[in-house]
Amino acid sequence: MKRLEALVLLVTLLLVLQGKKGIAAGEDGFVKTNGAQFTLDGAPFYANGFNAYWLMYVAADPSPSERQKVSTLFQEARGHGLAIARTWAFNDGTQDRALQISPGLYSEQTFQALDLVVSEAKKNGIKLILSLVNNYEHYGGKKQYANWGRSQGQSISSDDDFFTNSTVLTRRNTITGVDYKDEPAIMAWELMNEPRCTSDPSGRAIQEWITEMAAYLKSIDGNHLLEVGLEGFYGQSESQKQQDNPNFQVGTDFIANNQIPEIDFATVHSYPDQWLPSSDDRSQQDFLTHWLQVHIQDSQNVLRKPVLFAEFGKSLRTAPVEQRDRLFDTVYTAIYSSARAGGAAAGGMFWQLFTEGMHNFGDGYEVVLSENGSTAGIIADQSNKLNRIRRLYLELRNRARWAGGNGIRHNGIGN
């Protein structure tokens, strides 16, 4: 039965890729898209991942033992089959270890910390998604940009008026010697962590901003993928789908925002415990199951782009570990069910991964692989399943090449 399932999977993947645009050419190590799939070196790329927003901040710590946690984390992640990491490439303002101290003025010391993060990810074979600015005031965010604008005499009515720039993209890594825009270890840029514009529930403000910023970033860097950083809330472009949202609007539109041509893939966040705080675990699970399915379907059939479930989790401050494990299993099952059929769900990235000795950063959602055995087992199992899809496809491709090579040689002999 398992052999038959594997054969069906292999044939499905081959047909999906060849039926659209053919197998992607060129093996340069950059993650690309082919319809509703990610590809890496010409093969489907389904991968398990994690969030670790703190990497640059800890890498800038003056203590070598603290900086070592960056290397340790990537090694532990690799050991559990994790292949994608999402982290902050921002820290704006005058707070501790800021990257951008004032508009256009960057800390070389903190930039070198980000260099270390990229270098360690590359060393461990982990692709990075780097977020460029925060919606929230933590680590500066759009509030800091709005304050800078006001100080320069700009007319700014709220924190929803802000700007960004491209310095990170053109940075040359002091460790690897590679410009960020030419670095295959970076999978994608994220415009903003969880953009929200509650002052304009119509969604026009964010749609215009994404359109402008996406085109601008792509004009600088054509190597990397680009995503918005959305949570997945439906907007007015598909008003009938707003019933699938939690009971609030934030001025974003999962369909319209992700249909912008320069946006390469969609993202979805999933926090039923935060969004439905008055509901019991069963109701939250039911919401999550539907939330996952509608976004997979819309990514596959409407957007025709891959989707990453880029944040999900459950706080152990309010729930037992069994409920968190059940949530992880629900997310992972939906992703794998799509992936094994060559579908749009490309992977999930739980919030958030720690190594030992980091409890001062804790928010209740943290996972320490060496301390949270049941959750670590679920994570490793999902990694193995998704990695197996890629290995099976590569095996099929290699067999096809070998058979083709034999055929050519046979014909040559016959002539």
Catalytically active residues are: 194, 311
Residue 10 contacts by C-beta under 8 Å, 6 or more apart in sequence?
392, 393, 395, 396
Phi, psi for residue 166 in degrees, rounded to 5: -110, 15
For residues 234 and 214, give the distance between their C-alpha atoms in angstroms, rounded to a whole number: 20
Distance CA 273, CA 278 (A): 8
Measured CA to CA, the distance from residue 264 to residue 288 in angstroms comes to 24
Neighbours of 390 (CB within 10 A): 19
β-pairing, 186-190 vs 100-102, is unpaired
Confirm if 14 and 393 have CB atoms less than 8 A apart. yes
Q: Are residues 224 and 167 in contact, defined by beta-carbon separation less than 8 angstroms?
A: no
Q: Are 242 and 235 in contact (CB under 8 A)?
A: yes
Terminal alpha carbon distance of the chain? 43
Task: Tell how strand 43-44 and strand 37-40 pair up.
Answer: antiparallel
Please provide the DSSP assignment of 258-309 as one string. HTSTT---EEEEE-HHHHSTTS-HHHHHHHHHHHHHHHHHHIIIII-S-EEE
DSSP for 154-184 reads ----STT------GGGGPBPTTT--BGGG-T
Cβ contacts of 16 within 8 Å, gap of 6 or more: 35, 37, 342
